[in-house]
Chains A and B, each alone.
Chain A
Amino acid sequence: MSARDAVVTGVGMVTSLGIGLAPTWAGLMEGRTGCVPLSSDEGRLVGCAAQAVVPGFRGKDFVSNRKSLKLMSHQVQLGMAAAALAMEHGGLKAEGLDPEMFGVFVGAGQAFADSSELEGALAASRGADGGFDVARFGEAGLPLIHPLWLLRGLSNNVLGFVSLEYNAQGINNNYCNAGVSSAQALLSAARAIEEGLADVVLAGGYDAVTTPEGVLGYGLLGHLAQGSAAPAAQAHRPFDAGRTGLVPAEGACFLVLESREPAARRGARALARVLGGGVATDGYHITEHDPEGGGLRRALQAALSDVNASSDAVAAVFAHGEASPRLDPVEARVWREALGARASEVPVCAEKASLGHTVAASAAIAAGLAVQALDAGRLPPVPTLEAVDPSCSGLRYVVGEPAALPPGLILTASVGLGGQAAVLVLGPADVE
């Protein structure tokens, strides 16, 4: 153990299973899912009938500054809530911290300025033929646009607002890399702490791909679970023979990472340690995945070499588990080959079965759950895995009841569009 290890002292999350780590964990352990029916025009168009949204969410419960709240989109509010819950869970008060050594790293969803806020301006910009008239837009449309419209749409808003709320002035970055965004954030945060560039970091991610743009975008690529295949609650079926695609979801998760020694000094309990990780890409195609799983394979190798461990040290895996007909067998093969003779022993979890795919938030949620698993010594089951697809066999998926966590490290995997991949390595708080 070293004084500058990056330990996790708090986890905050908002997911389709509830607001906070505790309800999310309870739902997972009971084998429930947060997936519910989706009945929008966009959903019908792309054949998807399930989504995972945060139930009963109210942004004002988590943001002290009402003026700021007005500048925040729904997904930004989800991020703020997760950050607030993480601070609370870690027993951390902004007042006691050195602002310059308090950093923020965020994995953010795509930067889509909200087009609904342009409605008035666009309606005023119709030309004689009913089409868009750019001259009228300049004259009549401009005054109708909210002066801060641009700022509301920026994808670094959670970073900005979190820093304001907790007076964090230190090292920071905001990543926008689809499904690996928040893995990048957590990895940068852990390195910043180890390199002495921060004492405390809020690191995580947020996203909502349940918007019309998200459903359409993923739907047209053919990535979404298909409506008739299973009830909405069972629609995200990683590694199952009946999988048809992912369930679009919203959510957010932040972790409080602290340097071991200052955390101990303030009496904080270290729940787990982030040891390191690896990122890589397929370099194969811009939206499809390498059938050989090149990116994930290289990310996994980079992660193990980053922490000087072999796969023998792996106690459990939180798989990416996209429930993709094409990607799941590739992922299963990467794990089989990496784990070798132990492939049939190492428990594999797939939390997206319960929570859907929160894309930019997903790696942070997986890491937050891995922290809880390390602290509780138990692993949640995959509730939708009924018949393992033969192409995904040879691994020990956790099904039915929760499983005990053997001693060792947990790997969490994330794969994004175009074969971007990241693997994080977490371990018990006192791991060497």
Chain B
Amino acid sequence: MAYNFTEGLEHFRQLALAPQAALHAPDEMLFNSLTALRQDFDLASKRGIFNPLPESEPPIAQDAPRLRTIRSRLAGLGYLRQDAGLPIRDPLLIHAIKKFQQDAGLTTDGWVGRQTWQALQELVSFERQGDIGRWFIGNNGPCRALERAIALRLQVLGLTDTPACHEPAGLAAGLQRLQSVAAFLQLPGKEKIRPEVCPATIALLFDQDLLVEGLAAGHPLPNDADHPLFAFAACMAKVELWLAGYEVTPNGYEGKEFFRPTPQILLLGNDSELFAALAAYWRDHGKKEESPLLAQRFAGEFPAFFRMITAAIRAGKGLAATEKSAMISRMAGKQPEQLAAIWQTALSLGGRMWDGLGRAAGWLRNLTRQPGGKMVGIGRNISRLVYHQAMTAFELARQALQDFPVLLDQAFSREPAGSDPRHIMMRHDRDLAFKVYVNTMGDPAQINHFTAQVSRTAASFAAACRIIALCLSTLHTMVSQGRTGWAGLILALLQVSDQIMAHGRHLAPAPDSTGPGRLPRF
């Protein structure tokens, strides 16, 4: 799908250049501005420029990257036979989503909203998304979705060799290999690792960063060529190369058959995909002459490779949000005419679009600190960093726009919700005059609760106003510079993304707006 980047910002441009706008009253102008902004945001989503999680309507573009990612993840977990390109309304896909939701203890509606998307992220992506322990059901062990995720992870990391290992015996065999690897690499907490599905073992299995650090430590290698460490190291390399943007696919992903590399096979370079990716990696990291040899010697010298990965992980973790935002904005701003190509690349990445972003940011940071360094996988990594940064800002700005009427209604409500004469009442008069009545016999806890709610409501309204003001101001600058296509919107979002994200932390989800007397979301 090709994107027309000359489109975009049409409504906003018309408004900004309209000479009669100054004649309107401020609230009329605000209405026109918010409406134009909302129309352009909707158009960006409709045209597939941004792919936010749909709230009620299915995406128009059936090959939208999010949909591909959802299918790929469901297929990896065994809920779909394969990623057969099913459209969002296909009964097979809806059935698969419902089964996943049921197994994960989520609302079973067959729709991937924020909660289901987050669950898929936590259970499938490699960069830590949250506490994997939350998928255990009390003392009753893991939920069914976690069992499948464990089976997938064991397969991806070369610890099992069939995709149907979510049976207890298969899981136990894979976890036994994990135990051997953990003991050999002397990983922290290795004594708690058992060949069974328990929180400590599963936390380690999903801690990709810790596993990388273990492989980077450089312990003497085992003499036994069949030791699970070798297959594990090779499969971990595949994952890290995939996350870094190289042409290689982890086992179990995108229909990949299992392949168990042994030291002998690696020496012979028979896993051509892994071999080529490793050689490319070393070449891009300044080892042009030695790159084939370094790839061939991977089985014996893999710690050096994982030390490079560790450096990117650490650099990513040490990157402040403002520094990251400025770095990405600078990168995109240098060649704005390249944005269409950047977008095209980003939207073709599938699941990789939503994984390994911390590593990519760390890689970029290290790169910018080494003048003359080769741009490793520049197309893919820059693309997904730029897309993700702009997308995050887009989603927050869209939420601010949607929630604005409800938040405004709350902020200027004469009697804030929760007023109770037994504890506290608040009256908000026309201009900004508040009268607060505190009952001396009231419960301080109830009073504090009400007070906190008033503070949250005001902070949320202020955050929405600030985000919208930032968008209006920056887009106005873009329009005045003649950047009226989608590039203008993207550059504007990138420029203020760190500020939008900072305000976005105070943007509470709007309460149900469908109740009687409530204003609808915009």
Q: Do A and B bind each other?
A: no
